[in-house]
Chain A
Amino acid sequence: MTTTKRAFLQGIRDSLPFIVVVAPFAMLFGVVATEAGLSPLQTFGFSVAVIAGAAQFAAVQLMADNAPVLIIVATALAVNLRMAMYSASIAPYLRGVPFWQRAFMSYMLVDQSYAQGLLKYETEPDLTPSARVAYFFGTMMLNMPLWYGGTLVGALLGNRIPQDYALDFAVPITFLALVGPMLKTAAHVAAAFTSVLLTLVLAFLPYNLGLMVAALVAMMVGAQVELMVERRRA
C-alpha cells in the first residue's frame, strides 16, 4: 500500500469517534431549520454549501427572528472567523500542495479536520505533501456525507417530531456544550462573560446589533486579559 493511501485510511480511522457527534448534530440542524421555516431543500443546501454547524444554527436562529439578511450573514461569518486562524496555522504544512487541492481542503476545514490534521502534521513532520492531503481528506470522508445526510433526515422528519419536547432549547444547549470545553483560560472566561453581559445589556438595539458589538468588545477583552496574564508571568 502506498504511503498516501495509508494516510487516507488512517485519517478515516482517526475520525471514527466523531461520527457519534456529527450524526445527531446534523439531524438536529435539519429539525431546527425546518421548524424555523426552511424547506428540506434549503436546509440540505445550507449544509452542503457551508458545512459549519455552529454558524448554520446561528443563521437559522436569526432567520426565525426575522433579522435582516445582512445581519444574519454577518453573524454567521463572525461565528466562522475562528477558521481564519485554523487556515493560518495549517498553511505552513501545505507547501507543495496543488492549488485545487488546497481549495478542496479549505471547503472541508472544520473544527475536527483542523484539530486532527494539525495533530498529525505536528507528530509526523516527515509526511509528504500528498500524504498530508490524503490524511486530511480521510478525516472528512465519513463526516462530510454524514453531515449532509443527517441534515436531510432531520429536515424530512422534522414535522413529525412532537412539539412538547422543548426543542426550542436544543440550540442553546448545543452551543453551550460547544462553549464549555473552550473555557480553558481566564481570558476565555472573561471574553465569554463580557459577551453574555453586553448582549443582555444591549438587547434593546435593533437587528441583533447588540450581539455584534458585544462580540467585538468580548474579543478585545479576551486579548487584553491574555496580555495581562502574560505580562504578570514575565
Chain B
Amino acid sequence: MSMSDVQIWTVIVLVAIGTFLIRFSFIGLIGDRDLPPWVLRHLRYTPVAVLPGLVAPLVLWPEATGGNPDLPRLMAAAVTVLLGVMFKNLLLAIFGGGATLFVMLQVMAG
C-alpha cells in the first residue's frame, strides 16, 4: 500500500461520519415517518449487491497466484457459499470454507 497516514486517517474519519449519519438517519433525524416503498425495496438489496461484487475478482483472480484462477480458492469459495445458503450459519460457513482451502492447498502441494 502506498497511502500516507493522512490519507488513511481521512478514510477512517469520513467512513465513521458517513456510517454514523446513515445509522442516525431515521433514529435521530427523520424520525418515524415511513420511507417510500421503492426506496426500501432498493435498500433491501444493498448487501447482496455490494458484497458479492467486491469478492468476485478476489475469488477468480487472486493476487496470491499472480491473478490466475486457482482450484483450492475456487472450491473454498463454493463451499463457503453452499454452507451459508444451506445452514444459514456464519461460523460454519467460515470454518468450512477455511478448512476446504487448507486441505486443498495441502493436496495440491503434495
Residues of chain A at the chain B interface (Cβ within 8 Å):
20-21, 36-39, 42, 45-46, 49-50, 52, 54-56, 58-59, 61, 63-64, 66, 69, 72-73, 75-88, 90-92, 94-95, 99, 102-103, 105-107, 109, 166, 168-183, 187-188, 191-196, 198-200, 203, 210-211, 214-216, 218-223, 226-227
CA distance A145 to B26 in the complex (A): 26
Asked if B12 and A69 make an inter-chain contact with CB atoms under 8 angstroms apart, the answer reads no
- Which residues, 17 to 31 on B, are CB-close (under 8 Å) to A? 18-20, 22-28, 30-31
- Among candidates A78, A180, A182, A222, residue contacting B83 with C-beta atoms closer than 8 Å: A180
CA distance A52 to B23 in the complex (A): 11
- Among candidates A73, A168, A177, A203, residue contacting B64 with C-beta atoms closer than 8 Å: A168
Majority DSSP secondary structure for residues of B touching A: helix
Closest Cβ–Cβ distance, residue B76 to chain A (whole Å): 6
Asked if A196 and B56 make an inter-chain contact with CB atoms under 8 angstroms apart, the answer reads yes
* Chain B residues near A58 (CB-CB < 8 A): 50, 54
- The 8 A-B pairs at the shortest CB distance, nearest first, are namely A180-B84, A222-B45, A218-B49, A37-B1, A177-B93, A49-B16, A199-B53, A195-B53
Asked if A37 and B3 make an inter-chain contact with CB atoms under 8 angstroms apart, the answer reads yes
* Count of CB-CB pairs between chains A and B under 8 Å: 288
CA distance A61 to B50 in the complex (A): 14
Closest Cβ–Cβ distance, residue A156 to chain B (whole Å): 18
A109 nearest in chain B by CB position: B23
Asked if B45 and A188 make an inter-chain contact with CB atoms under 8 angstroms apart, the answer reads yes
- Among candidates B35, B46, B90, residue contacting A219 with C-beta atoms closer than 8 Å: B46
Mask for B85-103, Cβ within 8 A of A = 1, else 0?
A: 1001111011001100110
Asked if B49 and A50 make an inter-chain contact with CB atoms under 8 angstroms apart, the answer reads no
Q: Which of B25, B47, B105 has the most CB of A within 10 A?
A: B47
CA distance A94 to B32 in the complex (A): 8
User: With contacts A37-B3, A38-B8, A183-B85 known, is A178 near B90, CB below 8 A?
Assistant: yes
Asked if A88 and B40 make an inter-chain contact with CB atoms under 8 angstroms apart, the answer reads yes
- Among candidates B5, B8, B26, B81, residue contacting A176 with C-beta atoms closer than 8 Å: B81
Asked if A177 and B97 make an inter-chain contact with CB atoms under 8 angstroms apart, the answer reads yes
Asked if A92 and B77 make an inter-chain contact with CB atoms under 8 angstroms apart, the answer reads no
Asked if A107 and B23 make an inter-chain contact with CB atoms under 8 angstroms apart, the answer reads yes
Asked if B80 and A173 make an inter-chain contact with CB atoms under 8 angstroms apart, the answer reads yes
CA distance A173 to B57 in the complex (A): 13
- Among candidates A45, A78, A166, A176, residue contacting B93 with C-beta atoms closer than 8 Å: A176
Asked if B58 and A171 make an inter-chain contact with CB atoms under 8 angstroms apart, the answer reads yes
CA distance A177 to B84 in the complex (A): 6
